[in-house]
Chains A and B, each alone.
Chain A
Amino acid sequence: MSEVTVQAGEFGGAAAVPASDLWSALRRRTQARIGLGRAGSALPTRHRLELQAAHAAARDAVHSPFAPDVIAAGLPGTPTVRVRSAAADRLTYLQRPDLGRRLDPVDRAHLPTGDWDVVFVVADGLSSRAVHEHAAAVVRATTARLGDWRIAPVVLAEQARVALGDDVAAAMDTAMVVVLIGERPGMSAADSLGAYLTYGPKPGVTTDADRNCLSNIRPPLGLSYEGAAGKLAGLMGRARELGRTGVELKDDHDQEEAPGVDPERPEGLTRG
């Protein structure tokens, strides 16, 4: 018996395209899956499998279990606390965003309080992979820029949406919360991290318009750790001076925004 090993292909890049020079040139201008060729009316086998591979990566990112140990290991010397939302499992989490925004009552009671300026919440969101790969590095790079700030233990939150940070901040009595969360996976990015900054959050009252967001933290293709930390620390400093976040707090640190997707905002009817 012999074994045949196939190198499963990744889509993209002119080198992977056996098509004409024209399509090679055009592919350099877009990541869209253009010039795929045909098998009858359908896709050639290679491209069909490439699409399935990308979809599988996105699906696995959504359903991979959150591993708080991975984050804690990336934050040596930093105290951490683990919490869950009121959504008991992934199926509930996906169908009940309201539960993902609230702490499990038992876990809420266990959160410490102290005289802190800010709490970082690392939340699995829709991609555990994104937080496993990027969150600890963003926390390290950001706190390194925060000098005299009093920083609360980092909260590692499972089955969590962005607004869970409001509940955490209220329970720990901190004026500011930074939520680092796995974004909704697309087929070309299953590991994109978002960062949401909220000053004075009030559970159930604070809305997305009261937050500042950095999305697509995903080096080397998206925003770098240092780039994200720089923007975040800058926004945090101005939020502290202004006493607020949201639409009135502009990101003037760097005008160049990496495009990204808000992991929570339903876009169906505002997508135009």
Chain B
Amino acid sequence: MSYASVLGGHRYRFDTLARLLAAASPERSGDRLAGLAAASAQERVAARWALAEVPLTDFLAEPLIPYESDDVTRLILDTHDPVAFAPVASMTVGGFREWLLSPGADAETLAAVSPGLTPEMVAAVSKLMGNADLVAVARKVRVVTAFRSTIGLPGRLATRLQPNHPTDDPAGVAAALLDGLLLGSGDAVIGINPATDSPKAVRDLLELLDGVIQRYAIPTQSCVLCHVTTSVELMAKGAPVDLVFQSIAGTQAANASFGVTPGLLDEAYEAALALDRGTAGRNVMYFETGQGSALSAGAHHGVDQQTVEARAYALARRYDPLLVNTVVGFIGPEYLYDGRQILRAALEDHFCGKLLGLPMGLDICYTNHADADDDDIATMLTMLGVAGASFVICTPGGDDIMLNYQSASYHDALYLREVLGLRPAPEFEAWLDSIGLLDERGGIREVTSHPLTAIGKELAA
């Protein structure tokens, strides 16, 4: 089927739904690199006019990537819930936008419709939405998950404490861990990107983190971010794995470039559930995604960067994850050029993920060759905080010395909680209070000495 609209005396024609979606996408360097972007500003708006008239049912009838050749497409269509879809089944994309923004689309209604929505539908509607629309709708959606802490409750913001070290030195990791805990961070997860994927290195870090969590009875979970096959191997050998991590993408071919299949994820999911290490809940998976990964793997099938990203969320929701985050500015300026493009992508990813029922968090970040700085981090944090992000990733001083990129800092999370009146996950908040780190207003007390410093003292000796 082809789509067309007339704007400014010109008739614009789009041969396929994929072409239409790509042309309607806000300007970004990745779509230009892929040769998918609108050729002009007017063509972009013309595409949006045409997209607004597309019935949502078209997305079920015309898969962007063929059913036969892509297991993500099969998953999307095979798990589509027509009963949940019924309330919006007669809508166009433009009508769907207005419905999402209406008071009738409240938290309960959105949660009920979610299994009837496909990634392509939510990506499409996001292209008709302004940044404020993306905030307003995402803010209404609530996705609550739990392992040892509960993530996503109203009025709460959790953080991933990320104590990376370029050589996985235990004392270096412990020092950064202590720093984060004393700044009230770590309720979403204490998560390390290890320097190598070797099972021994991963296990050493898992045991270090598990030891600290147990010794201080911290109501949180650890994760050492390794390939899913490494986690499966380690679980079989009795390593203390809380969450199984994996990077995923929106096409079968892109997932193949990560060495991932749904079968592998199924196996890991079952193994992690069987360990039964959660106390507050049984969400055991942690996924990372990010716009540009399918393009960089040469696996985007002519689908625009944002739509293919939303398709990754369909794979994620199969596993009821505790956490999902987009590493939004991480891949570089050839995908998202500057702070403006990164902010837009962050809001889109958060909106799409939440609407599809995921506990969305963000690594609000940039590389030093992108045109962005710490003011962009502050802007993104504030907007995503208002939009109700489940968690953000935090690094010491916002500078990750292992991955060489800039992210939010523990201080940034304190700022966000302070200005928006947000609190940590309830179990973690109670723990902070029990060890004397919570002040009378619910903020994090600034301490110069504290029993927790024993974490660092032994290792630094």
Contact = CB atoms under 8 A, between A and B. Distances in A.
Interface of A: 20, 22, 25-38, 40-43, 47, 51-52, 54-55, 58-59, 61-62, 94-98, 126, 184-190, 259, 261, 266-272
In the A-B complex, list the 7 residue pairs whose CB atoms are closest, starting with the nearest.
A33-B397, A186-B404, A272-B225, A30-B172, A58-B368, A268-B331, A41-B414
A43 B293 CA distance: 34
A186 B175 contact: no
A187 B333 contact: no
Contacts of B293: 266, 268-269
Given A36-B397, A185-B368, A268-B330, A55 B290 contact: no
A45 B293 CA distance: 37
Contacts of A59: 368
Contacts of A41: 411, 414-415, 417-418, 443
Contacts of A20: 448-449
B367 A184 contact: yes
B246 interface: yes
Which of A25, A36, A40, A186 has the most B CB atoms < 10 Å from its CB? A186
A269 B332 contact: no
Nearest to B225: A272
Contacts of A52: 373-374
Given A29-B171, A33-B397, A271 B368 contact: no
Interface of B: 29, 32-33, 163-167, 169, 171-173, 175-176, 178-179, 193, 195, 197, 225-227, 245-249, 258, 288-290, 292-293, 296, 327, 330-335, 337, 367-369, 373-374, 395-399, 401, 403-406, 409, 411, 414-415, 417-418, 443, 446, 448-449, 453, 456-457, 459-461
A154 to B, nearest CB: 25
B169 to A, nearest CB: 6
A42 B415 contact: yes
A272 B330 contact: no
Contacts of B461: 25
Contact of B167 (A47, A62, A189, A259): A259
A269 B309 CA distance: 12
A272 B227 contact: yes
Contacts of A22: 449, 453, 456-457, 460
A102 to B, nearest CB: 14
Contacts of B406: 55, 187
Given A20-B448, A42-B411, A272-B245, A26 B460 contact: yes
A187 B292 contact: no
Contacts of B459: 29
